Structure 1
Amino acid sequence: MKLFVFDLDFTLWDAGGTWCDATNPPYYWSDGALLDQSNNEIELYPDVIPVLEKLKMKNRKIAAASRTFEPGWAQDLLHLFDIDKYFDLKEIYPSSKIQHFSKIKKHFGFEYSDMVFFDDESRNINEVRKLGVESVFIEEGIRKEDVYRYL
Protein backbone atom coordinates (compact mmCIF):
# COMPACT_ATOMS: atom_id res chain seq x y z
CA MET A 1 0.00 0.00 0.00
CA LYS A 2 1.33 3.43 -0.97
CA LEU A 3 1.60 6.60 1.09
CA PHE A 4 0.61 9.62 -1.05
CA VAL A 5 2.63 12.84 -0.68
CA PHE A 6 1.69 16.11 -2.35
CA ASP A 7 3.49 19.38 -2.90
CA LEU A 8 1.13 22.38 -2.61
CA ASP A 9 1.97 25.30 -4.94
CA PHE A 10 1.19 24.50 -8.59
CA THR A 11 0.35 20.92 -7.58
CA LEU A 12 -2.83 21.40 -5.52
CA TRP A 13 -3.40 25.10 -6.17
CA ASP A 14 -2.37 28.07 -8.27
CA ALA A 15 -1.82 31.12 -6.07
CA GLY A 16 -2.53 33.69 -8.76
CA GLY A 17 0.35 32.56 -10.96
CA THR A 18 2.88 32.49 -8.12
CA TRP A 19 3.72 30.58 -4.94
CA CYS A 20 1.63 31.12 -1.82
CA ASP A 21 4.57 32.79 -0.05
CA ALA A 22 4.47 35.54 -2.71
CA THR A 23 0.79 36.34 -2.11
CA ASN A 24 -0.64 39.12 0.04
CA PRO A 25 -2.76 37.73 2.91
CA PRO A 26 -5.06 37.78 4.71
CA TYR A 27 -7.14 35.83 2.24
CA TYR A 28 -10.88 36.25 1.84
CA TRP A 29 -13.76 34.77 -0.11
CA SER A 30 -15.63 36.98 -2.57
CA ASP A 31 -18.37 35.65 -4.87
CA GLY A 32 -17.03 32.10 -4.59
CA ALA A 33 -13.41 33.09 -5.33
CA LEU A 34 -10.56 33.04 -2.83
CA LEU A 35 -8.57 36.28 -3.10
CA ASP A 36 -5.57 37.87 -1.43
CA GLN A 37 -5.34 41.56 -0.51
CA SER A 38 -4.09 42.40 -4.03
CA ASN A 39 -7.24 40.75 -5.46
CA ASN A 40 -5.23 37.89 -6.97
CA GLU A 41 -7.33 34.75 -7.15
CA ILE A 42 -5.99 31.57 -5.59
CA GLU A 43 -7.52 28.51 -7.20
CA LEU A 44 -7.64 24.89 -6.18
CA TYR A 45 -7.18 22.65 -9.20
CA PRO A 46 -10.47 20.90 -10.15
CA ASP A 47 -9.38 17.31 -9.39
CA VAL A 48 -7.90 18.01 -5.93
CA ILE A 49 -10.97 17.30 -3.80
CA PRO A 50 -12.09 14.20 -5.76
CA VAL A 51 -8.53 12.81 -5.52
CA LEU A 52 -8.21 13.46 -1.78
CA GLU A 53 -11.70 12.06 -1.11
CA LYS A 54 -10.95 8.89 -3.07
CA LEU A 55 -7.64 8.35 -1.25
CA LYS A 56 -9.39 8.73 2.12
CA MET A 57 -12.20 6.40 0.99
CA LYS A 58 -9.50 3.82 0.17
CA ASN A 59 -7.92 4.39 3.62
CA ARG A 60 -4.66 5.71 2.21
CA LYS A 61 -2.32 7.92 4.22
CA ILE A 62 -1.79 11.41 2.80
CA ALA A 63 1.00 13.88 3.56
CA ALA A 64 1.90 17.35 2.35
CA ALA A 65 5.52 18.30 1.64
CA SER A 66 6.05 21.97 0.84
CA ARG A 67 9.18 24.09 1.09
CA THR A 68 7.34 27.42 1.37
CA PHE A 69 8.86 30.33 3.29
CA GLU A 70 5.43 31.16 4.74
CA PRO A 71 4.11 27.92 6.29
CA GLY A 72 1.28 29.75 8.05
CA TRP A 73 -0.03 31.09 4.76
CA ALA A 74 0.00 27.60 3.22
CA GLN A 75 -1.84 26.30 6.29
CA ASP A 76 -4.40 29.12 5.92
CA LEU A 77 -5.04 28.06 2.31
CA LEU A 78 -5.42 24.40 3.30
CA HIS A 79 -8.00 25.51 5.86
CA LEU A 80 -9.84 27.97 3.60
CA PHE A 81 -10.10 25.38 0.81
CA ASP A 82 -11.31 22.91 3.48
CA ILE A 83 -8.74 20.29 2.50
CA ASP A 84 -6.52 20.25 5.59
CA LYS A 85 -8.78 17.52 7.01
CA TYR A 86 -7.51 15.04 4.40
CA PHE A 87 -3.85 15.22 5.47
CA ASP A 88 -2.46 12.82 8.05
CA LEU A 89 0.79 14.79 8.22
CA LYS A 90 1.92 18.19 6.94
CA GLU A 91 5.62 18.96 6.49
CA ILE A 92 5.43 22.63 5.48
CA TYR A 93 8.57 24.71 6.04
CA PRO A 94 11.56 26.03 4.04
CA SER A 95 13.86 23.06 3.70
CA SER A 96 14.98 20.37 1.33
CA LYS A 97 12.38 17.79 0.36
CA ILE A 98 14.88 15.26 1.73
CA GLN A 99 14.18 16.57 5.24
CA HIS A 100 10.42 16.52 4.61
CA PHE A 101 10.59 12.88 3.49
CA SER A 102 12.86 11.85 6.33
CA LYS A 103 10.24 13.12 8.80
CA ILE A 104 7.39 11.54 6.84
CA LYS A 105 9.22 8.18 6.84
CA LYS A 106 9.89 8.40 10.57
CA HIS A 107 6.29 9.41 11.36
CA PHE A 108 4.55 6.65 9.39
CA GLY A 109 7.22 3.94 9.26
CA PHE A 110 6.75 3.53 5.51
CA GLU A 111 9.74 2.67 3.35
CA TYR A 112 10.56 5.21 0.66
CA SER A 113 9.65 2.59 -1.93
CA ASP A 114 6.10 2.58 -0.49
CA MET A 115 5.60 6.30 -1.12
CA VAL A 116 4.47 8.21 -4.20
CA PHE A 117 5.18 11.93 -4.49
CA PHE A 118 3.53 14.53 -6.73
CA ASP A 119 5.29 17.85 -7.46
CA ASP A 120 5.53 20.46 -10.21
CA GLU A 121 9.29 21.09 -9.80
CA SER A 122 11.72 18.74 -11.49
CA ARG A 123 14.48 19.54 -8.96
CA ASN A 124 12.23 18.17 -6.19
CA ILE A 125 11.23 15.16 -8.29
CA ASN A 126 14.88 14.34 -8.98
CA GLU A 127 15.94 14.85 -5.35
CA VAL A 128 13.18 12.66 -3.91
CA ARG A 129 13.50 10.01 -6.63
CA LYS A 130 17.09 9.39 -5.43
CA LEU A 131 15.62 8.26 -2.10
CA GLY A 132 13.67 5.54 -3.91
CA VAL A 133 10.31 7.35 -3.81
CA GLU A 134 8.10 7.01 -6.90
CA SER A 135 7.98 10.64 -8.03
CA VAL A 136 5.47 12.06 -10.50
CA PHE A 137 6.02 15.37 -12.30
CA ILE A 138 2.84 17.48 -12.37
CA GLU A 139 2.58 20.04 -15.16
CA GLU A 140 -0.68 21.94 -14.69
CA GLY A 141 -2.13 20.81 -11.39
CA ILE A 142 -2.88 17.34 -10.08
CA ARG A 143 -5.21 15.22 -12.19
CA LYS A 144 -7.12 12.11 -11.22
CA GLU A 145 -5.21 9.96 -13.70
CA ASP A 146 -1.88 11.06 -12.15
CA VAL A 147 -2.94 9.58 -8.81
CA TYR A 148 -5.43 6.77 -9.43
CA ARG A 149 -2.92 4.56 -11.21
CA TYR A 150 -1.17 4.11 -7.82
CA LEU A 151 -4.28 2.79 -6.05
Structure 2
Amino acid sequence: MPSLYPHAKGISYALKDKGIDMAVASRSPTPDIAKIFLDKLEIQPMFVAREIFSSWIHKTEHFQIIHRRTGVPFNSMLFFDDEDRSIDAVKNAYCSPLF
Protein backbone atom coordinates (compact mmCIF):
# COMPACT_ATOMS: atom_id res chain seq x y z
CA MET A 1 0.00 0.00 0.00
CA PRO A 2 1.45 3.40 -0.91
CA SER A 3 1.96 5.93 1.85
CA LEU A 4 2.96 9.56 2.28
CA TYR A 5 5.27 11.21 4.75
CA PRO A 6 3.26 11.86 7.93
CA HIS A 7 2.45 15.54 7.32
CA ALA A 8 2.36 15.53 3.51
CA LYS A 9 -1.40 15.19 3.14
CA GLY A 10 -2.13 17.95 5.66
CA ILE A 11 0.37 20.28 4.01
CA SER A 12 -1.10 19.55 0.59
CA TYR A 13 -4.64 20.27 1.77
CA ALA A 14 -3.46 23.49 3.45
CA LEU A 15 -1.86 24.64 0.18
CA LYS A 16 -5.04 23.83 -1.73
CA ASP A 17 -7.14 25.69 0.87
CA LYS A 18 -4.89 28.75 0.35
CA GLY A 19 -5.60 28.63 -3.39
CA ILE A 20 -2.17 27.35 -4.40
CA ASP A 21 -2.44 25.15 -7.48
CA MET A 22 -0.40 21.94 -7.49
CA ALA A 23 0.50 19.56 -10.28
CA VAL A 24 2.17 16.17 -10.59
CA ALA A 25 4.74 15.50 -13.31
CA SER A 26 6.22 12.03 -13.41
CA ARG A 27 7.88 9.60 -15.75
CA SER A 28 6.84 6.09 -14.84
CA PRO A 29 7.07 2.76 -16.65
CA THR A 30 3.61 2.05 -15.14
CA PRO A 31 1.55 5.26 -15.33
CA ASP A 32 -1.70 3.40 -14.64
CA ILE A 33 -0.30 2.13 -11.34
CA ALA A 34 0.98 5.61 -10.45
CA LYS A 35 -2.52 7.03 -11.00
CA ILE A 36 -4.04 4.24 -8.87
CA PHE A 37 -1.57 5.11 -6.09
CA LEU A 38 -2.68 8.76 -6.22
CA ASP A 39 -6.27 7.53 -5.88
CA LYS A 40 -5.40 5.23 -2.95
CA LEU A 41 -3.57 8.09 -1.24
CA GLU A 42 -6.73 10.19 -1.72
CA ILE A 43 -4.74 13.11 -3.12
CA GLN A 44 -5.55 13.01 -6.83
CA PRO A 45 -8.23 15.77 -6.57
CA MET A 46 -5.63 18.17 -5.13
CA PHE A 47 -3.84 18.53 -8.45
CA VAL A 48 -4.90 20.84 -11.28
CA ALA A 49 -2.72 18.81 -13.65
CA ARG A 50 -1.50 15.23 -13.55
CA GLU A 51 1.16 14.59 -16.17
CA ILE A 52 2.24 10.99 -15.72
CA PHE A 53 3.77 9.41 -18.80
CA SER A 54 5.28 6.04 -19.56
CA SER A 55 7.71 7.57 -22.02
CA TRP A 56 10.93 9.16 -20.86
CA ILE A 57 10.15 12.63 -22.16
CA HIS A 58 12.24 15.50 -20.92
CA LYS A 59 10.97 17.05 -17.66
CA THR A 60 10.79 20.43 -19.40
CA GLU A 61 8.04 18.97 -21.60
CA HIS A 62 6.02 18.29 -18.45
CA PHE A 63 6.43 21.97 -17.56
CA GLN A 64 5.28 23.05 -21.01
CA ILE A 65 2.14 20.90 -20.73
CA ILE A 66 1.35 22.12 -17.21
CA HIS A 67 1.89 25.73 -18.32
CA ARG A 68 -0.44 25.32 -21.31
CA ARG A 69 -3.08 23.57 -19.20
CA THR A 70 -3.01 25.97 -16.23
CA GLY A 71 -1.64 29.26 -17.56
CA VAL A 72 0.70 29.47 -14.56
CA PRO A 73 3.89 31.31 -15.57
CA PHE A 74 7.11 29.33 -15.28
CA ASN A 75 8.58 31.83 -12.81
CA SER A 76 5.63 31.11 -10.47
CA MET A 77 6.20 27.36 -10.41
CA LEU A 78 8.01 25.56 -7.60
CA PHE A 79 9.60 22.28 -8.64
CA PHE A 80 10.69 19.27 -6.55
CA ASP A 81 12.38 16.22 -8.01
CA ASP A 82 14.57 13.35 -6.89
CA GLU A 83 16.79 13.43 -10.00
CA ASP A 84 19.52 16.03 -10.30
CA ARG A 85 19.38 15.91 -14.10
CA SER A 86 15.70 16.87 -14.07
CA ILE A 87 16.33 19.70 -11.61
CA ASP A 88 19.21 21.00 -13.75
CA ALA A 89 17.19 20.76 -16.96
CA VAL A 90 14.26 22.72 -15.52
CA LYS A 91 16.53 25.26 -13.85
CA ASN A 92 18.47 25.85 -17.08
CA ALA A 93 15.30 26.16 -19.15
CA TYR A 94 13.13 28.34 -16.91
CA CYS A 95 15.15 30.10 -14.21
CA SER A 96 16.76 33.48 -14.53
CA PRO A 97 20.57 33.58 -14.49
CA LEU A 98 20.45 34.87 -10.89
CA PHE A 99 19.64 31.40 -9.54
Note the alpha carbon deviations across 1:29-55, whole angstroms, 9 max, x for none: xxxxx1xxxxxxx33222220121111
1:56 aligns with 2:23: no
Residue aligned with 1:63, SS: strand
Indicate the structure (1 or 2) with the bigger Cα radius of gyration. Answer: 1
Structure 2 gap segments, 5+ residues each: none
1:123 alignment partner AA? R
Give, as a single letter, the amino acid of the residue that structure 2 aligns with 1:113. Answer: N
Helix, strand or coil: the match of 2:29? coil
1:105 Cα deviation from its structure 2 partner: 0.8
- Give the total of aligned pairs: 94
SS of alignment partner, residue 89 of structure 1: strand
TM-score by length of 1: 0.58
TM normalised by structure 2 equals: 0.86
Corresponding residue for residue 109 of structure 1? 71
Match of 1:128 in 2: 90
SS in 1 for 2:80: strand
As a proportion of its length, which structure holds more strand? 1
Determine which structure has greater relative contact order: mean sequence separation of CA pairs < 8 Å that are 6+ residues apart, divided by chain length: 1
Give unmatched runs, 5+ long, in structure 1.
1-33, 35-41, 135-151
Structure 2 residue aligned with 1:119: 81
1:24-103 matched pairs, under 5 angstroms: 34=1, 42-93=2-53, 94=55, 95-103=57-65
Q: CA RMSD in A?
A: 1.5
Question: What are the superposed Cα offsets for residues 21-80 of structure 1, whole Å, 9 maximum, x if unpaired?
Answer: xxxxxxxxxxxxx1xxxxxxx332222201211111101111000011111000000001
1:112 counterpart letter in structure 2: F
Secondary structure of 2:23 counterpart: strand
